[in-house]
Amino acid sequence: MKGSQVTVKGVEKYFGGFHALKNVSLGINKGEFYSLLGPSGCGKTTLLRIIAGFEDPSAGAVFLDDRDVIPIAANKRPVNTVFQTYALFPHLSVFENVAFPLRLKKLPNAAVKEKVGEFLELVKLPKEGGKLPSQLSGGQKQRVAIARALINEPSVLLLDEPLSALDAKLRQHMLIELDAIHDKIGITFIYVTHDQQEALSVSDRVAVMNEGEVVQVGTPSEIYESPSCPFVAHFIGETNYLGGEVAEVLDGKHARVDFPGIGALYVYQDKPLSVGDGVKVTVRPEKIRISSDKPEGQAGRMNVLEGTVDELIYSGFQSKFFVRVSASATFRIFRQHVKYFMDEKAINWKDKVYIWWNDNDGYVVEAEKNP
């Protein structure tokens, strides 16, 4: 992990008998928007707190710009944190909250005023300096917390689920603004979240964590399209997850797999497979097309199945279909409503439908060698 700004090396953490982090190693590049994503209790916050200096690892090391920071106390590390609960000082005005680190350094008043003004401008709160935190809305509090964490000009900003206390609309809005701030100041952001939408939409790279382990590191599209394990496939988005047996290895990137209760389907694979191997395959619901007419004239290797609509959930921008293709197999399918009046024939409950998708859209998540 040479060249990384933040290097986490073999970090272990025990809380009593609980093994919170299991041999975690990461390399985070300078200027990256890097997310730690996982369900609650997966160790992501613990890892962040170790980087911040609030917890010591039971084993392992954390390097910042090639310097071991574990012996350095939290108040001397060149990293700052935005806390989930904002953690604004209730007795200080917005201005004094942001000025707090500068006051500690005993900066002259004029310099404090100029710098605080600059950072309140950055978070779009130039006029709120005189208010107390209790007079601000949740989104405004979060902005103050961000300005306060940035004013020390840390080399890394740590964000611990900073948006989880906001409502969905505001969360989207703040996320875009956070991204804009990141672009503007260009320092490394390490962002902890349990919300895969947040992580996918703003991150350069995402580390997915589960039960104290990092299970996959990759760009948002890598994580979404090529999950490394069943956990990632299920945790990120919705999916159809199928188990089958390799019937034929095709051109090295594709294979034909027999699925019990469904039949043979073409899948994409980037692992060495041989005939007879057991495989698990993920097919994302939005990649499957659905129609009441049999698809014709499709080029390439296409998977086409017949089924009936078991369930149909309309949600404005799209509909979600559950299509039963056999007694043991149901597929979920998203259809985007691109036009107000749909060109295609409306599909109703209990309708007989055809579903189809390209050979590239089924991805082999894991394979088990045939003994």
Partner 1 sequence: MNRIGKHATPNRPTGKFSFGMFTFVICFLYTPLVILVAYSFNQSKMMSWGGFSLRWYSELFFNSESLWHSFGNSAIIAVTSATISTAIGTLGAIGFYWYRFKFKKLIRIAAFVPILIPEIIIGVSLLIFFAGIKLNLSLFTIFLAHTTFNIPFVLMVVTARLEEFDFTIIEAAYDLGAKELQTLAKVILPAAFPGIMSGFLIAVTLSLEDFVVTFFVSGRGSATLPLHIYSMIRFGVSPVINALSVIVIAGTVVLAVLSRNVVKYMFQK
Can you give the binding site for partner 1, defined by CB under 8 A? 52-54, 73-76, 80-81, 83-85, 87-92, 100-101, 104-105, 132, 134-135, 148-149, 152
| Closer Cβ to partner 1, 18 or 89, answer by number | 89
Give the whole-angstrom CA distance, residue 247 versus residue 70. Answer: 52
Q: In the 8-state DSSP scheme, what is residue 123?
A: T
Written as one letter, the residue type at 159 is L
Task: Name the residue among 98, 136, 97 with its Cα closest to residue 119.
Answer: 98
* Structure token digits, residue 30: 């300078």
Q: How near is the Cβ of 305 to partner 1 at its closest, in Å?
A: 47
Give the whole-angstrom CA distance, residue 36 versus residue 205. Answer: 9
| Closer Cβ to partner 1, 165 or 250, answer by number | 165
For the purposes of burial, counting CB atoms within 10 Å of the CB of 30, is it exposed (0-12), middle (13-18) or buried (19 or more)? Answer: middle
For the purposes of burial, counting CB atoms within 10 Å of the CB of 168, is it exposed (0-12), middle (13-18) or buried (19 or more)? Answer: exposed
Q: How near is the Cβ of 42 to partner 1 at its closest, in Å?
A: 20
| Closer Cβ to partner 1, 150 or 214, answer by number | 150
Give the whole-angstrom CA distance, residue 51 versus residue 45. Answer: 10
Residue found under tokens 């047996």: 245
* Structure token digits, residue 204: 């350069």
Q: How near is the Cβ of 114 to partner 1 at its closest, in Å?
A: 19
Q: How near is the Cβ of 129 to partner 1 at its closest, in Å?
A: 16
Q: Could you tell me which residues are beta bridge partners of residue 190?
A: 34, 158
Q: How would DSSP label each residue in 224-247?
A: HHS-SSHHHHHHSS--EEEEEEEE
Give the whole-angstrom CA distance, residue 304 versus residue 265. Answer: 8
| Closer Cβ to partner 1, 15 or 349, answer by number | 15
Q: How near is the Cβ of 75 to partner 1 at its closest, in Å?
A: 5
For helices 109-122 and 138-150, give the axis angle rounded to 10 degrees.
130
| Closer Cβ to partner 1, 151 or 199, answer by number | 151
Strands (E), 127-200: 156-160, 188-193
Q: How near is the Cβ of 144 to partner 1 at its closest, in Å?
A: 11
| Closer Cβ to partner 1, 106 or 350, answer by number | 106
| Closer Cβ to partner 1, 81 or 196, answer by number | 81
Q: How near is the Cβ of 270 to partner 1 at its closest, in Å?
A: 42
| Closer Cβ to partner 1, 129 or 285, answer by number | 129
Written as one letter, the residue type at 33 is F
Q: How near is the Cβ of 81 to partner 1 at its closest, in Å?
A: 5
Q: How near is the Cβ of 354 to partner 1 at its closest, in Å?
A: 47
| Closer Cβ to partner 1, 153 or 238, answer by number | 153
The dihedral of CA 307, 308, 310, 314: what is its sign?
Answer: positive
For Cα atoms 362, 364, 282, give the angle at the middle one, nearest 5 degrees. 50
